[in-house]
Chains A and B, each alone.
Chain A
Amino acid sequence: MIDKIRAKARELLESGQVYCFIGYEEGTRGRVRPAFVYEPREADRLIWDERCTYNLVAYLHQFQPAFSPRPGGVREVPPRVGILVKPCDSRSLNVLFHEEQVEREGVYVVGLTCQGVKVNGQPQARCQRCAERVPLVYDLVMGGVPKTVGREDYVDVVKLEGMSPGERLAFWMKEFDRCIRCYACRQACPACYCFECVAEQLDPLWMGIAIDLPQKQFFHVMRAYHLAGRCSGCNACEEACPMDIPLSLLNRKIAREVESLFGYKAGQDAQTPPPLATFKKDEELAL
């Protein structure tokens, strides 16, 4: 499997089909880190195993031109990039294709079927909930036929919904109180790509930048809301969080509501607009 990935990366780089191949490599202390391979002879650095949790789609932005040209201007063609995607990553990729942040022709997608990944040897809860074992978008898919699929039952979200507003507030305040506003959640997220994030905008000052409880609380609500109908559930934010704030509880709540209100699941294809970017005239929504 690893050999197949390396061979494909080498072939793509040698033939000049891609300028860079993004994959995983062995890091320090038994961990895995993202690898950016530019030379065919370096393709042997690549690895693939169950420790490869990172969503590499987040790194695609740096290969895109910063601004679109003026009308009539010459369009800058971004270099073509090869990338390894797991099923969850492929959904984020679909979101970026739809939002025209990444061009479909600009990436060579090597999809990997996935039986779930592990962090520190622990199987991930999100993988047990994941119903997709085959990427939704790829140029080439590798890996065996997946045996099991997970099921999303939202048990923890429902449990939190069952609390009284006061209890919920206390629960979230306890969680958000740990936030140090490092923005690791935002940086890790493939769907957070604004050049200037409202969380750091000073004029107007929408989100206070103080480490102050209401500001921390609403920073997280804002972040989650901006991902409404766009979050693919890759959980990169929660994994990146140094303070272990359960961000997936927020993201999955929204995913659940989006599905029940608008019948939409993020990243299933690159054509359907996300629910908040469209509307139906005669829909009944409880306000």
Chain B
Amino acid sequence: MATDFEPRIVGFLCRWCSYPGADLAGTSRITYPPSLRVIRVPCSGRVDPLFVLKAFQDGADGVMVLGCHPGDCHYVEGNYYTRRRYALMHRLLEYVGVERERLLVEWISAAEGGRFAETVTAFTAQVSQLGPWGREGREGRERREGMEGGNGGRRREVS
């Protein structure tokens, strides 16, 4: 596998645990690969499996869904649903040919800055091993790169 390949990883981080965890990693000056694009969500339960599909459809090489540890959800039960959804989603994606290693669901608390950095580092290495996601992924990426600057794909900036 090409060593200069830097995967594009989309991360859905829960606003109460994993996002502050990522913040902690930053303020603690812990380095981790810049491959991760963070999307902050109110709760890991907000992450509709459709979001993950959309990310893969538009050329992400890997997707992370990070939330509070089960039992610690700010909304009491959001991540229990996440756990069930993604247990199934993992198996379904694997079945249609998306390698299991491209999707990571992990629980990271606001105090686990170090573990956040480790998780991202390990996941980036794992996805780099697999290479870019599919022929379609590469094509999608080329299309998107050709489109950047314009708004051809009706894509909006996410702040």
B92–A214 contact, CB under 8 A?
no
Q: How far is the CB of B159 from chain A (nearest CB, A)?
A: 15
User: Which residues of the other chain, B, contact A257 by a CB distance below 8 angstroms?
Assistant: 88, 91-92
92-127 of chain B: CB within 8 A of chain A? 92-99, 105-106
Q: How far is the CA of A206 from the CA of B80 in the complex (A)?
A: 24
> Does A31 belong to the interface (CB within 8 Å)?
no
Count of A-B contacts with CB under 8 A? 100
Q: Does B85 have its Cβ within 8 Å of any Cβ on chain A?
A: yes
Instruction: Judge whether A222 is part of the interface by a CB distance below 8 angstroms.
Output: yes
Answer whether residue A149 sits at the interface, using C-beta atoms and an 8 A cutoff.
no
How big is chain B's contact interface, by range?
35 or more
Q: Which residue on B lies nearest to A170, using beta carbons?
A: B97
Output the least CB separation between A32 and chain B (Å): 33
Is A217's CB under 8 angstroms from B96's CB? yes
The interface size of chain A toward B, counting residues with CB under 8 Å, comes to 42
| CB of A44 to closest CB in B, whole Å | 47
Contact A224 B50 (CB under 8 A): no
Asked if A214 and B137 sit within 8 Å, CB to CB, the answer is: yes
Q: Which of A166, A261, A275, A280 contacts B97 (CB 8 A)?
A: A166
State whether A262 touches B80 (Cβ < 8 A): no
- Would A169 and B97 be within 8 Å (CB), given that A214-B136, A225-B92, A287-B105 are in contact? yes
Q: Whole-angstrom distance from the CB of B147 to the nearest CB of chain A?
A: 13
Are B94 and A254 neighbours in the complex by a CB distance under 8 Å? no
Q: How far is the CA of A208 from the CA of B8 in the complex (A)?
A: 20
Kindly state the separation between the CA atoms of A250 and B95 in the bound complex, as whole angstroms.
Answer: 8
8 Å CB contacts to B: which residues of A266-287? 275-276, 279-281, 283, 285-287
Give the distance to chain A from B63, nearest Cβ to Cβ, in Å: 12
Q: A171 vs B99: C-alpha distance in the bound complex, in angstroms?
A: 14
Q: Which of A183-223 contact B (CB under 8 A)?
A: 198, 205-208, 213-215, 217-218, 220-222
| Complex-state Cα separation, A165 to B102, whole angstroms | 12
Query: B98: which A residues are within 8 A, CB to CB?
Result: 165, 169
> Which residues of A are found within 8 Å of B96, using beta-carbon distances?
168-169, 172, 217, 220-221, 250
Asked if B92 and A286 make an inter-chain contact with CB atoms under 8 angstroms apart, the answer reads no
Residues of A within 8 A of B54 (CB): 206-207, 218
A258 touches B88 (CB 8 A): yes
Residues of B within 8 A of A (CB): 49-50, 53-54, 56-57, 70-71, 77, 80-81, 83-99, 105-106, 134, 136-137, 140, 154
A-B interface, 8 closest residue pairs, ranked by CB to CB distance from nearest: A169-B97, A279-B80, A285-B87, A214-B136, A168-B97, A287-B105, A218-B53, A257-B91
The 20 listed contacts between A and B (C-beta, < 8 Å) are A161-B95, A165-B98, A173-B97, A214-B56, A214-B140, A217-B136, A218-B54, A221-B96, A250-B92, A253-B92, A254-B92, A261-B87, A276-B81, A276-B85, A276-B88, A279-B84, A286-B87, A287-B83, A287-B86, A287-B106
| Known contacts A172-B96, A208-B57, A254-B92, then 7 further A-B pairs from the complex at CB < 8 Å, ordered by chain A residue | A160-B95, A168-B97, A169-B96, A206-B54, A217-B96, A281-B71, A287-B83
